[in-house]
A and B are shown apart, each in its own frame.
Chain A
Amino acid sequence: MKVFHFTEQAYAPAWNDHDGSLRVNLPNRKCDPKIAADNYHRWYDEWALADELGLDIMVNEHHQTATCTSSACVITLSILARETKRARLLVLGYPIGHRPDPLRCVEELSTIDVISRGRLEMGFVKGVPYEIPVANTNPVFLMDRFWEAHDFILKAMTSHDGPFNWEGEHFHYRHVNVWPRPYQEPHPPVWVTTGSTSQARRLGEYGYVMATLGSGYATKGLYDAYRQGYVSKGRPMPGPDRFAYLGLVAVASTEAEARRRAEHVAGYVRTSSIVHPPFRNPPGFLSADDNAKLLKAGKPPARTFTKDGRAVDMRTGSVQDLIDAAIMFAGTPDQVYKQLIDFCEWVGGMGNLLMMGQAGFLSHADTVDNLTLFAKEVLPRLKDYKQPTPASIAAA
């Protein structure tokens, strides 16, 4: 199993000083650039440590939000491409449906792949609903744009014989011939996030790495849909390296200390959806059928469940609830290892843990210890762990 260290790079002081909305419209007066500078430098120190410890690195981006101050992930990737030595650099993700200019995306990603000598993992995401009012992309056509940008980016990365033409629905170019071309052949690996079974099946058909976030014990249905799409193209069952899962991680030498850290890390899920309500569901982001159900119910459906089907509200759930729902893996190294293996067995194999090892108010010292203990006590065992075999998944 590969383990990617991830932090949302939250501006945590704002978590205690907002007017009901941490995203989109929280005035940036509340961001002290001196504190932000200290934060960034500290996170680069932690990424350097992750690189030394044998962990890989994941970065993401959101916009106009105190929950995540990584607003231009290519800046982070660019610095890491030069400063780190061995870690795979996963961007998950790059919101290509929102980008006005996918040609620029190809230039950025190819350059980062070259500088890092082929360490880029290229994750494309639709983006959460709150990205829409900032990007101002029409939500009705967002996925059309996403797939056209995807087609264009891969075509541009794999075309080496001079300019080609592109006259699509959303993007128009006449002379596409990107320098430099990517380091990896034919292009950096593609990852995509999803929460829907129809999209999971499509990703399986492509054979991309599929990542899910916050899906807990509902993850298995998504993996099954992916597997159906994957084998529908005449391939054998996909291995665990095709699946990635974002988990919040707090490990310590004692359970009590781990629980203390877990409370800090859980700050991420408790603040993530604090946003002015209309920005949570832009028109067209969900289907008309799903919106009709939402209006009828008067509230959003539960999406996070424990193994025995109990719904967990991520905003209000206790650390124990989050552990029970496989949103969080927390405890001593033994406990965390067992929780992770238990999850892998449940979903039928998962080869990429996207480990949120820092969130919110978790201090630098705590983060260093969290990462170090994980890398020394849990990671070697995960590397040795034998994932469920395709035969055992098919039989289940």
Chain B
Amino acid sequence: MSTAGSPPAMHAINGLQIEILSRGNGKPLLFLHPELGLDPAAPVVERLSSGARLIAPSHPGFGRSDVAKSQTTVDDLAYFYLDLLDSLDLRDAALVGVSFGAWIAAEIAIKSTARLSHLVLADAVGIKVGDRETRDIPDIFAMTESQYLDVAYADPAIGKVDYTARPEAELKIVARNREATARYAWSPYMHDPKLRGRLHRIRIPTLVLWGDKDRLTAPEYGRAYAAAIPGARFEPIERCGHFPHIEQPDAFAQKVLGFVGGSN
């Protein structure tokens, strides 16, 4: 579809300017990034686009994408992506999300899978598993940077960033991503109380991938997610924390492409 290494382009979707990274050919694979956004130079982009037509938008409010005042919930994002699937006329698409992006993917799939062939949820947030006094997901907004890195990565050094060395335009995207995460996930914190009870509606092949060292959402949380989706398969990724597409891009892409049937 597009040439290797081309930067994300802006597309008008529902009157919003949305940044979309498009790369590779073959089966459409809609990738929904986590709360960190998506670095176009990340190795996972190359890996996934080697076996599929990768379509990776920045969610409304993230990256350089606009956000409408009325978009305040993950439910709103799910409807937005159903419109995006129509707008780009994607058919038999694989829907792949990581963490916050996997939450959006699950909210899309309970509404309609008409344009979807496969669903992959990696280290998803979005459901309530524990009791009311047990927070399933640690409060990332109450953590210092080093506390966050310790729970988010198997190897915290992988996530470490020297912000003072980055250009201000890039830092604005970091700030927008953090703000947009709060916009959608502040309260109820990182979940939709109704989602778990609706996951049974997902009737397409579903793979639940999980970092075996994920300390932000523990593998038991992932197993509860998989158990709520009929026929879903749970697979751990070794030596990996909450962001497998960053920490183990090869294993992540291999498992995703193998499952969705892209050429690998």
Partner of A139, one of B168, B171, B172, B186: B186
Contacting residues of chain A (129-155) with chain B, CB-CB under 8 angstroms? 133, 136, 138-141
Let me know if B142 and A133 touch, CB within 8 A: yes
**Chain B residues near A139 (CB-CB < 8 A):** 182, 186
| C-alpha spacing A278/B140, complex, angstroms | 9
Residue of A nearest to B169 (CB): A292
Let me know if A291 and B175 touch, CB within 8 A: yes
Q: Is B183 an interface residue (CB 8 A)?
A: yes
Given contact pairs A296-B171, A297-B164, A298-B164, A291 touches B178 in the complex (Cβ within 8 A):
yes
Let me know if B179 and A289 touch, CB within 8 A: no
Q: Is B166 an interface residue (CB 8 A)?
A: yes
Given contact pairs A278-B143, A279-B142, A292 touches B174 in the complex (Cβ within 8 A):
yes
Partner of A283, one of B168, B172, B182: B182
Let me know if A138 and B183 touch, CB within 8 A: yes
**Chain B residues near A292 (CB-CB < 8 A):** 168-169, 171-172, 174-175
Most buried by B among A133, A138, A276, A298: A138
B34 CB to nearest chain A CB (Å): 15
| C-alpha spacing A193/B178, complex, angstroms | 26
Partner of A295, one of B175, B181, B182, B183: B175
**Chain A residues near B178 (CB-CB < 8 A):** 283, 291
Q: Is A288 an interface residue (CB 8 A)?
A: yes
Let me know if B186 and A138 touch, CB within 8 A: yes
Q: Is B17 an interface residue (CB 8 A)?
A: no
**Chain B residues near A293 (CB-CB < 8 A):** 168
**Chain A residues near B141 (CB-CB < 8 A):** 133, 278, 282-283
Let me know if B187 and A138 touch, CB within 8 A: yes
Q: Is B3 an interface residue (CB 8 A)?
A: no
A67 CB to nearest chain B CB (Å): 19
Partner of B179, one of A136, A277, A288: A288
Q: Is B6 an interface residue (CB 8 A)?
A: no
**Chain A residues near B134 (CB-CB < 8 A):** none
**Chain B residues near A284 (CB-CB < 8 A):** 179, 182-183
Category for how many chain B residues contact A: 20 to 34
Let me know if A288 and B143 touch, CB within 8 A: no
Let me know if A288 and B182 touch, CB within 8 A: no
A295 CB to nearest chain B CB (Å): 4
Contacting residues of chain B (166-196) with chain A, CB-CB under 8 angstroms? 166, 168-169, 171-172, 174-176, 178-179, 181-183, 186-187
| C-alpha spacing A290/B144, complex, angstroms | 19
Let me know if A296 and B166 touch, CB within 8 A: yes
Let me know if B182 and A140 touch, CB within 8 A: yes
**Chain A residues near B142 (CB-CB < 8 A):** 133, 276, 278-279
Let me know if B179 and A140 touch, CB within 8 A: yes
For B208-248 the 0/1 string (1 means CB < 8 A from A) is: 00000000000000000000000000000000000000000
**Chain A residues near B169 (CB-CB < 8 A):** 292
Let me know if A298 and B182 touch, CB within 8 A: no
**Chain B residues near A297 (CB-CB < 8 A):** 164
Contacting residues of chain A (267-307) with chain B, CB-CB under 8 angstroms? 276-279, 282-284, 288-289, 291-293, 295-298
Let me know if B166 and A277 touch, CB within 8 A: no
**Chain A residues near B172 (CB-CB < 8 A):** 288-289, 291-292
Closest 5 CB pairs of A and B: A291-B175, A283-B182, A292-B171, A292-B172, A295-B163
A interface, CB within 8 angstroms of B = 133, 136, 138-141, 276-279, 282-284, 288-289, 291-293, 295-298
* Known contacts A136-B186, A291-B172, A296-B168; 18 further A-B pairs (Cβ under 8 A): A133-B142, A138-B186, A138-B187, A139-B182, A140-B179, A284-B182, A288-B172, A288-B175, A288-B179, A291-B171, A291-B174, A291-B175, A292-B168, A292-B171, A295-B163, A295-B164, A296-B166, A298-B164
